[in-house]
Structure 1
């Protein structure tokens, strides 16, 4: 299990509300096609054909895209800042949605996310705060991560009225479907999947 962060403005436009409502994150970069199973060399060629990057810029963007497409894995965790808050989610697989491969939208490169909680940044430990303060497009957290509960670095209580008001709102039907999926995952033969499902259900029960 690894922890990553993603910016909420992949094209310079704030997309946090869409990320939360539609349960995904995106890194932007329209115009370079589906990136599943392509080599770094092919990715480099596509970026050079589409964008006018300097060599330094190209290296930075290559690293960010490779991280998003190949390094992140189903079951890893992601943090996305939203003002004084940060949203914590469980990542799904990379997928390409051709419908959004346009200059106006550009969110074609996506990973599904099961949002677990919304946390005040002030309640995070110093290492995670520093990690979130970096301005990279997409980055991996290098510090220690709890083996069972990713919220163990939270200090104090965030269950205030403000926190409750900031929770992601999901309709009852969607909640029922999501809980059904998690209950099935609890009896999976995959121990890691069982653990993630248990964490998500416990987080829901605490809200």
Structure 2
């Protein structure tokens, strides 16, 4: 299990509402096309062939895309933030939405996200603050993560007033029921880590 921060700036700073309501996050420029089966060197070649990047810009774009496509895994965690709030989500698989190729800011490279918790930006711990302040568009957290209850680890103290946290997006009852059914099924997974994440998510919902 890993934790990643995705920086939102420029044209992407206005996408956070879409991320939260439509349950996804994006990174990188769509000039490289669908990268589902692409390794790091293939991504480099595609970026170079596009003519959009050279030198340091090429290396930065490569780092972000390779991290987003290849280092992130289903079941890892992601953090995004606006000026006031930080949002924690459980990552899904990478996919390429070709319909978004021409959208300003490049939103075609995507991963599904199940958003789990939000906290005031002033309440998160120093490790999270540093991750969110990274110069890279996509950054992997290099420290030690807790074995469970990632949502509690985010804060400087577990005594954060629950009334200060808010749900990132409204979800209808049918979707909630469907999501809970998936989590209940995951409780019987042969993967111990997946069982643990499912149990934590169900307990968090039940609070």
* TM-score relative to the length of structure 1: 0.90
Secondary structure in structure 2 of the residue aligned to 1:142? coil
Q: How do 1:155-166 and structure 2 match up within 5 A?
A: 155=157, 156-160=159-163, 162-164=164-166
Contact 1:146 1:152 in 2 (8 A): no
Contact 1:118 1:168 in 2 (8 A): no
In structure 2, how many angstroms separate the alpha carbons of the residues matched to 1:82 and 1:5? 12
Q: Which residue of 1 aligns with 2:3?
A: 3
Q: Which residue of 2 aligns with 1:109?
A: 109
Q: How do 1:1-207 and structure 2 match up within 5 A?
A: 1-9=1-9, 11-104=11-104, 106-153=106-153, 154=155, 155=157, 156-160=159-163, 162-164=164-166, 167-206=168-207
In structure 2, how many angstroms separate the alpha carbons of the residues matched to 1:42 and 1:103? 24
Change (3 A) 1:143 1:204: same
- Between the two proteins, the alignment pairs up a number of residues equal to 204
Contact 1:32 1:50 in 2 (8 A): yes
Secondary structure in structure 2 of the residue aligned to 1:31? helix
Q: CA deviation at 1:9?
A: 4.3
Q: CA deviation at 1:92?
A: 0.8
Q: Which runs of 5+ in 1 are unaligned?
A: none
Structure 1 segments of 4+ aligned residues over 6 angstroms from their partners: none
In structure 1, how many angstroms separate the alpha carbons of the residues matched to 2:142 and 2:41? 26
Which stretch of the first structure deviates more once superposed, 71-80 or 26-35?
Answer: 26-35
In structure 1, how many angstroms separate the alpha carbons of the residues matched to 2:51 and 2:13? 18
Q: 1:126-150 CA deviation, whole Å, 9 max, x = no partner? A: 2221221223200011111001121
Q: CA deviation at 1:46?
A: 1.5
Which stretch of the first structure deviates more once superposed, 95-104 or 65-74?
Answer: 95-104
In structure 2, how many angstroms separate the alpha carbons of the residues matched to 1:11 and 1:32? 19
Contact 2:20 2:168 in 1 (8 A): no
Secondary structure in structure 2 of the residue aligned to 1:118? strand
